[in-house]
Chain A
Amino acid sequence: MSLTQLRPSPQHAAPPPKQSRAKLLLYRFDTKATPYVFIAPFFVLFAIFGLFPIVYNAVVSLRTWKLDEPDKDGWAGFANFTKLLTDSDFWNALYNTFGIFVLSTVPQLLLALIIANLLNRKLRGQSFWRIGILLPYLTPVVASTLVFSVFFARDNGMANWFLSLVGYGQEQPLDWRAEKWSSWIAIATMVNWKWIGYNALLYLSAMQTIPKDVYEAAAVDGAGPWRQLWRITVPMIQPVVVFTVILSTIGGLQLFNEPMMFDQNPQSATGGSAHQFQTIAQLIYKVGWKDLNLGYAAAMSWALFLIILIVAGINAQLTKRIGGDR
Chain B
Amino acid sequence: MKRLGKATAAAGVAATLALTGCSGQSLEGDGDKAQGTITLKVAFWGDMGLDKLKAQYEAAHPNIKIVLNSGEYNAQHEDLQKKIVAGTGAPDISAIDEGFIVQFRSQADKFVNFMDKGGAEYESKYLPWKWQESMSTDGKQIGLGTDVGGLAMCYRSDLFKAAGLPTDRDAVSKLWNNWDDFINVGKQYTAKTHKKFVDSGTNMFNPVLAQQPVGFFDTGEKLQMDGGPKVAFDVSMKALDAGISANLASFQPNWDQGFKKDQFAVLACPAWMLGHIQDTAPDQAGKWDIASIPGGGGNWGGSWWTIPAQGKNIDAAADFVKWMVAPEQQIEVFKTVGNLPSQPALYKDPAVLDYKKEFMSNAPTGQIFAATAENLKPQYLGKKAGPTRVAVENVITQVQEGKLKSADAWAVAVKEAEKAANS
Q: Which positions in A face B, CB cutoff 8 Å? A: 67-70, 142, 145-146, 149-150, 153-156, 175, 177-179, 256-257, 260-261, 264-268, 270, 273-274, 287, 289-294
Contact = CB atoms under 8 A, between A and B. Distances in A.
Interface in B206-257: 248-250, 252-254, 257
Given A142-B11, A154-B254, 20 more contacts: A67-B81, A68-B103, A68-B107, A70-B106, A70-B107, A70-B109, A142-B17, A146-B14, A150-B253, A153-B253, A155-B254, A155-B257, A155-B263, A178-B401, A178-B403, A267-B74, A273-B398, A273-B403, A274-B403, A291-B423
Given A68-B103, A265-B249, A273 B257 contact: no
A177 B386 CA distance: 23
Contact of B9 (A70, A256, A266): A266
Q: How large is the interface on B (under 10, 10 to 19, 20 to 34, 35 or more residues)?
A: 35 or more
B423 A146 contact: no
A69 B391 CA distance: 21
B18 A264 contact: no
Given A67-B81, A266-B9, A289-B78, A256 B423 contact: no
Nearest to B18: A142
Contacts of B261: 156
Contacts of A69: 106, 383
Contacts of B18: 142
Contacts of B386: 290
Interface of B: 6, 9-11, 13-14, 17-18, 73-74, 78, 81-82, 85, 102-103, 106-107, 109, 248-250, 252-254, 257-258, 261, 263, 383, 386-387, 390-391, 393-395, 397-398, 401-403, 423
B423 A293 contact: yes
Contact of A260 (B17, B253, B258): B17
A153 B252 CA distance: 11
Contacts of B263: 155
Contacts of B254: 153-155, 264
A82 to B, nearest CB: 16
B383 A68 contact: yes
A268 B394 contact: yes
9 tightest Cβ-Cβ pairs between the two chains A and B: A142-B14, A273-B397, A178-B401, A264-B249, A268-B390, A68-B106, A273-B394, A291-B423, A273-B398
B223 to A, nearest CB: 15
30 contacts: A67-B85, A67-B103, A67-B107, A68-B102, A68-B103, A68-B106, A69-B106, A70-B107, A145-B14, A149-B253, A155-B248, A156-B261, A178-B403, A257-B17, A261-B10, A264-B252, A264-B254, A266-B10, A266-B13, A267-B6, A267-B13, A267-B73, A268-B393, A270-B391, A273-B397, A273-B401, A287-B423, A289-B82, A291-B423, A293-B423
A142 B13 CA distance: 9
